Structure 1
Amino acid sequence: MNKKKCGQQSILFASPPVITSTANIVGPMEGDGLLTEFYDRILEDNLDNNSSWEKCESSMMEWAIKTAITRENSATNDIDYVLAGDLLNQLMSTHFAVRGIGRPFLGLYGACSTLAEGMLIGSTLIDGGFASKIVTAVSSHHDTAERQYRFPTEQGVQRPMVSQWTVTGSGAVVISSAGNGPRITAATVGKIVDIGMQDPNAMGAAMAPAAADTLWHHFEDTGRQPNYYDMIYTGDLGSVGKALVIELFKEKNIDLSTNYEDCGCMIFREDQDAHAGASGCASSGIVFTGYIYQLLMQQKLRKILLVGTGSLHSTTSYQQKESIPCIAHAVAVEG
């Protein structure tokens, strides 16, 4: 009998891995936002002495990974595996960031759900006895994402109000088999949910059903009710997607509004003109590794559920008029 598999999509870890360290780095706009005090390093500009935005994104991830490892008083050679990903084609930023670290590496692409995916897979490796220490990391950069997915920033294309601002930043998490820190006790693997939306600017609305589906199956599989958690955080649905998740649960006679927030609504001030909020791998990446992790360490939060959300379209797919497949993965972290 599989005692770790729980229900249809979930895992209960027999020896819950420990989050022993985190680190993050952000761009100037993020650093001027709502969570300034929770960032380890704030760049002065979006190039940070690099010759391209892509090189800047790689350098951010490399810095976050090395800082998280050093902060935990570990050496790079203590890391069994690096699990990391970004938004760019062929994980461009990640591959160049990790090439100098010299540890076994698994590249992940879950779009903006990649941090939760990395934490889920890393915890499974550790709980299964296949590793004792891993680091998982994500990055995104506003200008690299705009260049790949939408328009060159130099064109100054007007964005619709439902659009979100891709976060410039990187977050890294060290997960260990032993040590001090909050533990990852459970996880739920999401499945593709596609409601037929085709507008790549309306990602919050496209991803909300996937987030609600994963949340519902997490509660069904584990028997935990929403009030089991002090807070539930989705990754980057923004104001539009967050409102839709709350509405979808109202249809099930569940009030999710009392202990639910979206990381995409927590980063920028209203006057920063991010429209519907933040997006990108680093949306949940910088909020979890900074604000959420610090509150867990201070025991101001004791039980949280992080639901990473990802829009899995590409420039090719939406130019071919395909709909937007979405996914969400959940990890439960308890202090």
Structure 2
Amino acid sequence: MLIRPRGGRVIKSRVLSTLVALTTVASLTAACSSSGVIGESSATGDFGKDFVGSVLSPNAPSAAGGNHQGKDGGLTGQQALPSFDNAPLPQPVAAHQLPGPYTTPSGAVTGKLFFYRQGDANSGNYYVCSGTVIKSKNASLVWTAGHCVHDGKGGTWHLDMVFVPAFDNADGDPNVDPSDLSAYAPLGTFPAVHVWTSPEWVKTGDEHGGDLAHDYAVIEVGRNSDGQTLDSAVESAGAKPVPMWFSAPTAQGKTPQISIRGYPAAQPFNGMSQWGCTADSVQLLNVTELGPQAKEYRAGCDLTGGASGGGWFARAPGQTSGELSLVTNTSVGSAHNAHSGNWLAGPYLDASAKQLYNIANGSPAP
């Protein structure tokens, strides 16, 4: 039951109700701040188009004022995916809460996204997702899910997105005000200035899930209030931006051990702290319903909505102990249904994903 948080309170959202023995699946997503346009796509959605927009007053208070709560407003509907239905369920893995503070080499590269969807800017409602600080030339890139930045087919770009690396409010009230996150942002807050997602997600993404094999995105953020770039801020905590590992190979259909992180916000979680899973085996499934080359990773893990966009990490060839690369991002998962097991899935980041990254990586530093 992965989700997309949306204002008010956290509610569960279902994505693919026929995955795995006709059980319900949901997508993870997010919510945030005031008003403005993050991105604007070209008519064709070509990779060559820089989806650039302006974030207007990202730290301005909501017109609604008062109580603010991240809401799970994710994908709803049904989509038959026999590739998932007919595959053996992965070994279940229970999530564990990661102890704060997250200003550590392993914790600082994971952060929480806050934003509004169209029509919510003055409601006080917002969405939340997760994201990862990735290695880049402009020292300012975050990798996340496509549905965390754009509604998909017929929809729009999300508004006033702010990224908070090492977000930490484990012992506090979950009804945070997205216009003032300073108390939970030890490394500062970073407003989105550019955003890119796949043309496939823009064209087909919808309440049913759409092209989940291309449910990924890159965000370039501005500087924090101290004038630091995103990379400078996380490096001050002893962390290093995470390199990308595109087209990660598998052995007998399994990747190396995977560590999954995020800020789950749907019950039984509240989105205020980092949680993770460590999966010793990861499936790589051919999801032919989404195209002849479409592939998805799937692993046992019971994180919920709000963890959308969070990173899956593994040690790539040549990396030493303690060094990890980003293999994929959380896109969808099971609904904590007794018949479907608890699992997450993320897109196989192939040459198309690398092309998207290269465009973002070539963007001038903020």
> Do Structure 1 and Structure 2 share a fold, with TM-score over 0.5?
no
- Compare the two structures and name the one with the higher helix fraction: 1
* TM-score (structure 1 length as normaliser): 0.29
